[in-house]
Each structure stands twice: as structure tokens, then as C-alpha cells.
Amino acid sequence: MSNVIQAIRGMNDILPDETHRWAFFEDTVRSWLDGYGYRNIRMPIVEQTDLFIRSIGAVTDIVEKEMYTFVDHLNGDSLTLRPEGTASCVRAVLEHNLLYAGPQRLYYLGPMFRHERPQKGRYRQFHQVGVEALGFSDPDIDAELIIMCARLWRRLGISGVRLEIGTLGSPESRSVYRARLIKYFEQFQNDLDEDARRRLYSNPLRILDSKNPLMREILAGAPRLLDDLDEDSLKHFEVLQRLLHDQDVSFEINSRLVRGLDYYNRTVFEWVTDKLGAQGTICAGGRYDGLVAQMGGKSAPACGFAMGIERILALMDETEIARPAVDVYVVHQGEQATRFAWKTVEHFRDEGLNAILHCGGGSFKSQMKKADASGARFAVIIGDDEAKEDEISIKPLREAAEQVRVGLEEAGALLKRVE
């Protein structure tokens, strides 16, 4: 047993007993996004490392510590498994000139990769839904992204989730605030934890996101970015709040809300819960107006968010999600019966029924046990006698009813009629 190869720690198998929950979530998400006019885009899992250094920021935790980066020995390129989707999406939009046709509403689903200590709700391979709206400058798109999330929680039956919003202002106002923040934290250099000291001059805003309880008192007295907002950013934030109020979306203003990626500006938001312990953020995003130009494109505004699928499914643990129904399990014995069973099961599938053909032989008794264990509503029994007459015997497995024998042509209609 010790020689059996196992999955990499933090990269988990999703087994058949779980995948119906994933499929339900993914189908719901696609329907929800279709309803808002967002179109699917699919990007590669592997990108040039420089894409993430340029977009996310060289002094972020993701780039410094968490990326899966390797050298392609064929050509010496530095490649990285994508740690997030926005940079890849913007790269694809620029490479294929999608903004030439006007603003774009896009979404993607898939795995992301970060090399961090695995724990519940935080894995090395995790899955996200990402939604990006590019080419929209007004706060109405910020509001749409937030309001549509509120609709998704209702559709999924998720409760106990609250919205926190904030603003990072313009790069100019943030630069002023950054200087004030550094000056404030310099007073406490001996009291800052190791993480805060490391970030003090490279990324001081991230100190505000510290979860260290020993830093709580210092953080409580830190200056607020809201006090350094430029007039346009303040107006943008006020309009966003009004739009959320108009749609009865409750929120809290969190003046300490920062995102871990350098490309954000103005609106930032998080949907959080107290039900998942330390990994309480299930969806987060904001505006990133400078990223398109930063990546070599013509300047264009943009806004988006990402949600963690594993965390949302954890919130849905108590939600009953039905597995795909098996309508018919076909049991058979005898050479002529087996040939007719193949014809029968394909006929049922043509009729739109979910049908399993028993494989592997065995007695009728053993096959019937497997039929019952499959969850099928009916067992269809075929022996050589039935096959000679182009008939089948139908036995209900989930209700007390008599077994009947009918012709194949009428069987499909009969089975669908009693669904």
C-alpha cells in the first residue's frame, strides 16, 4: 500500500458522490450569468510568469510566495500555473482585440493554483468563477456585479452572507494615503509583527488586512483612506451606495478593506460569512481601471470579481441536491436476450430516458440487486422468451406495483408516462 501514488497535498479529487453538487452549482451559475448577458471565455491554465508579475504586483504574497512557477526546458521560458483569472482574461481580451467591438461582459470557471499551506477552504488547486466587465467606467457596472451576486445567493439558498464595500480611490489619492500610512506605522516599528515590517515600505496597505490580534490596537488608530479620496472617487463611491440602496442590497462600509492584488482602484467589495471560520470570504472583487493599459493595451476601465467554488459548496452542505436520476436498469440473460437488451437500452436513450445496461453477466437475482442499488426507478427484465417476442418485462423498484410485460415500442412511452 505504501507504493500507491497519492494526490498532491492540497490538490483534491472530486469523487462521483460529490460531482453532482458541482454540476448543479455550475449549471446554476451559467444560467444566472446568461440572464445578465455575460459570455463565457476559456483561458489556458499555464501563462507566461511575467503576466502575473506585471499585473498582480511583484511584492504581493501571491507573486513572492505562492505561485507555481517552472522553467519550460524546451525553450527556457518561465511559466506559471495561473494563481487567479483576471490577468489571464485581460491578456486574452488584448491579444484578440475583443474591446474593438465595444465593452465586454465575460466569465470563466476553472482551477487556479497557489502554493500555500492547505487548510479547509484554502487549497493548492482550488476552483473559481470569475466575472469581468471591461470597458465600463461608471459605478452602475460596479453595482450590477454586486447586485447579481445577491441574486445568486438567493438562487442557491445561501444565507448568513454579508456584503462589505470600500474604495481605494485613484492612484493619486492612494499615493497620498500610502505616504501617511507609512508615517503612521513607522511610529510602531518595534511593535509590528514580522509580516507588517516586511510590507511597511513595499505594500503598506496590506498591513491593514492583518489577522494578527496583537496588531488590532495599532490598526484601529491607522488613518483612513476615505479621508484622502479625490472628488471623483468619492462621487463614484456615493453613486454606488445609492444604487445598492435602491435595490435593497444591504452593505457595510469597511474603510480597512484592501485587496491582495496591486491592480485594484476605486470600488472594492467582499461577500463574507462567519460560517467557514478563517476562510470567511466567498466572493471578492472590485475595479481595476489601470490594468488594461498596464498590460500594454489602450487604457480601458474594468471591474470584476471571483468566487471560490469550494467555499460556496461548503455553505450549501445542508442543501439537498438530487443526483441525476436513473430511469431504467436493464437486466438480461441468454444470448438472444443480451442482443435484444442492447437494442432496448439504446431505444430508451432515444426516448430521452437515462438507462443503464447491466454488464458483467450474473444471475437474474444478482443483477436485480445491482438494479436496486443503482437507484433506478424501474428494472427492465429481458430473457430469451421476451426477446423472441420483441417484448420486455418492467418491474417498478421504488413503489409497490405489479410487474408488466409490454412490447418495446410502447415501453418508452409507458415509462415516461409514470415519471
Q: What is the mean pLDDT of residues 258-265?
A: 67
What local confidence, expressed as pLDDT, does residue 59 receive? 54
Reported as half-sphere exposure (CB side, CA atoms, 13 A), residue 417 has a value of: 5
Q: What is the mean pLDDT of residues 306-335?
A: 87
Residue with cell 442557491: 156
Are 56 and 85 within 8 A, CB to CB? no
Region of poorest pLDDT, from 58-72, 102-116, 305-319: 58-72
The 10 Å Cβ neighbour count of residue 403 is: 11
Band of residue 406 on the pLDDT scale cut at 50, 70, 90: confident
Residue 330: is its pLDDT beyond 80?
A: yes
Percent of the chain predicted with pLDDT > 90: 43
What local confidence, expressed as pLDDT, does residue 398 receive? 85
Residue 339: is its pLDDT beyond 70?
A: yes
For the whole model, what pTM was predicted? 0.85
The bridge status of strand 355-357 relative to strand 391-396 is unpaired
What local confidence, expressed as pLDDT, does residue 99 receive? 94
The whole-angstrom separation of Cα 146 and Cα 239 is: 13
What local confidence, expressed as pLDDT, does residue 367 receive? 92
Q: What is the mean pLDDT of residues 49-71?
A: 74
- CA torsion sign for 26, 27, 28, 33 is positive
Q: What is the mean pLDDT of residues 106-121?
A: 87
Burial of 298 (0-12, 13-18, 19+ CB in 10 A): exposed
What local confidence, expressed as pLDDT, does residue 57 receive? 65
The string of pLDDT tens digits covering residues 138-187 is 999 999 999 999 999 999 989 889 999 998 888 788 778 888 888 888 88
Region of poorest pLDDT, from 35-39, 385-389, 410-414: 410-414
Residue with cell 489601470: 290
Region of poorest pLDDT, from 103-117, 274-288, 289-303: 274-288
Q: What is the mean pLDDT of residues 224-253?
A: 90
What local confidence, expressed as pLDDT, does residue 332 receive? 94
The string of pLDDT tens digits covering residues 355-374 is 999 999 889 899 999 999 99
Band of residue 61 on the pLDDT scale cut at 50, 70, 90: low
Q: What residues pair up with 68 in beta bridges, in sequence order?
A: 81
Q: Which three cell numbers stand for residue 71?
A: 522553467
pLDDT greater at residue 262 or residue 323: 323
Q: What is the mean pLDDT of residues 197-203?
A: 77
Percent of the chain predicted with pLDDT > 70: 94
The bridge status of strand 302-308 relative to strand 39-40 is unpaired
The whole-angstrom separation of Cα 147 and Cα 129 is: 16
What local confidence, expressed as pLDDT, does residue 260 receive? 56
| Centroid of chain to Cα 271 | 14
What local confidence, expressed as pLDDT, does residue 164 receive? 93
What local confidence, expressed as pLDDT, does residue 262 receive? 62
Q: Which three cell numbers stand for residue 119?
A: 487548510
What local confidence, expressed as pLDDT, does residue 220 receive? 79
Residue 69: is its pLDDT beyond 60?
A: yes
What local confidence, expressed as pLDDT, does residue 259 receive? 60
Residue 58: is its pLDDT beyond 70?
A: no
Where does residue 103 fall: left (phi above 0), alpha (psi -120 to 50 degrees), or beta otherwise? beta
Region of poorest pLDDT, from 59-63, 74-78, 93-97, 316-320: 59-63
The string of pLDDT tens digits covering residues 2-52 is 688 888 888 899 998 889 999 999 999 999 999 999 999 999 999 998 888
Q: What is the mean pLDDT of residues 309-331?
A: 85
